Chains A and B, each alone.
Chain A
Amino acid sequence: MGKFLLVTIQVDLYDRLALNLETDLANMVNKTGARGVLIDISALSIVDSFMGRILGNIGTMSKIMDAESVVVGMQPAVAITLVELGLELKGVSTALNVEKGMQLLHTKVGSFEDEEKEEDADDNSIE
């Protein structure tokens, strides 16, 4: 309960791999009961409309599976390009880096955790 999944994308993914990531994540959320997913894309040199759609899908999918997701570490050049491309990444929460992303996940999941705390006061570790 209350676990987070940390996903670091290390290489530029071709389409099949990106789709696999989507399925793998859904399975992992299901298997581990994670409440949050943090996706680190700092190693991605570009995010095109396909990758953008995958990130959006992961966000929507986690939400349906009762988990929050945050995308972190986007390169400035990638952000500038995304705006011009016309991709708004709607529904995708972002944070500057892993640390801030974790904080955001804690806040997002926190409101639920607080309710649970009343029942189980000993459990205050979320990570």
Chain B
Amino acid sequence: MIIVLSKDAMAIQKEQDVVPFRNRVKEYAVKIGMSLVNQTKLITAASELVRNMLKYGGGGSTLIEVISKGRENGIRLTFADKGPGIKDIPLAMQDGYSTGKSLGLGLPGAKRLVSEFDIKSTPGKGTTVTVIKWKNG
């Protein structure tokens, strides 16, 4: 069972919000004693996902949570936008696939960097991505 220890919401509207958001995630990761490598992985994943949200969803809201499951602590990040949504999620999760001009590493890359990854999308309604990085995961 996952217990939420703290919650922090942050709206992302413009690309200048990305760096403060990344710093906020880092703060929490440091607070729970996450190793530097895991911090870097989490922040990089967060950066990819928040950029996707800005680029394809026109911005949205993020939630940073400190969670606990048994003896393990972790950070859960939620990215929710009200953009056009993703029609074919398996395709979007493929390496090198991009509808934009990017490298197409955002979603699959972010998934590799975190412990748990979940994506839900309804075409026309928006996309929500949730990731968890356990302190020692």
Which residues of chain A are within 8 angstroms of B102 by Cβ–Cβ distance? 49-50, 53
Q: How many A-B residue pairs have CB under 8 A?
A: 71
Closest residue of B by beta carbon distance from A18 = B15
Chain B count of residues within 8 A CB distance of the other chain: 26
B13-52 CB contact bits vs A (8 Å, 1 = yes)?
0011011001000100000000011011101100110010
Please list the residues of chain A having a beta carbon within 8 angstroms of any beta carbon in chain B.
12-16, 45-50, 52-53, 75-78, 80-81, 84-87
Which residues of chain B are within 8 angstroms of A77 by Cβ–Cβ distance? 36-37, 39-40
On whether the beta carbons of B19 and A14 are closer than 8 Å, the reply is yes
On whether the beta carbons of B112 and A85 are closer than 8 Å, the reply is yes
Docked CA distance A50–B18 (Å): 12
On whether the beta carbons of B37 and A12 are closer than 8 Å, the reply is no
Closest residue of A by beta carbon distance from B37 = A77
Which residues of chain B are within 8 angstroms of A46 by Cβ–Cβ distance? 22, 40, 43-44, 47
Taking the nearest CB of chain A, how far is it from the CB of B134, in angstroms?
15
Supply 24 A–B pairs (Cβ within 8 Å), ascending by A: A12-B19, A12-B22, A14-B15, A15-B15, A15-B51, A16-B15, A45-B26, A46-B44, A46-B47, A50-B51, A50-B102, A52-B103, A53-B102, A81-B113, A84-B41, A84-B109, A84-B113, A85-B44, A85-B105, A86-B105, A86-B108, A86-B112, A87-B105, A87-B109
Is B106 positioned at the interface, with any CB of A under 8 Å from its CB? Answer: yes
On whether the beta carbons of A48 and B95 are closer than 8 Å, the reply is no
Known interface pairs A77-B40, A81-B40. Does A48 touch B108 (Cβ–Cβ under 8 Å)? no
Docked CA distance A84–B114 (Å): 10
Known interface pairs A14-B16, A16-B15, A53-B103. Does A80 touch B37 (Cβ–Cβ under 8 Å)? yes
User: What 16 additional pairs, Cβ within 8 angstroms, besides A14-B16, A50-B47, A77-B37?
Assistant: A13-B19, A14-B15, A14-B18, A46-B44, A48-B44, A48-B51, A52-B103, A53-B103, A76-B37, A77-B36, A77-B39, A78-B40, A84-B112, A85-B48, A85-B110, A86-B105
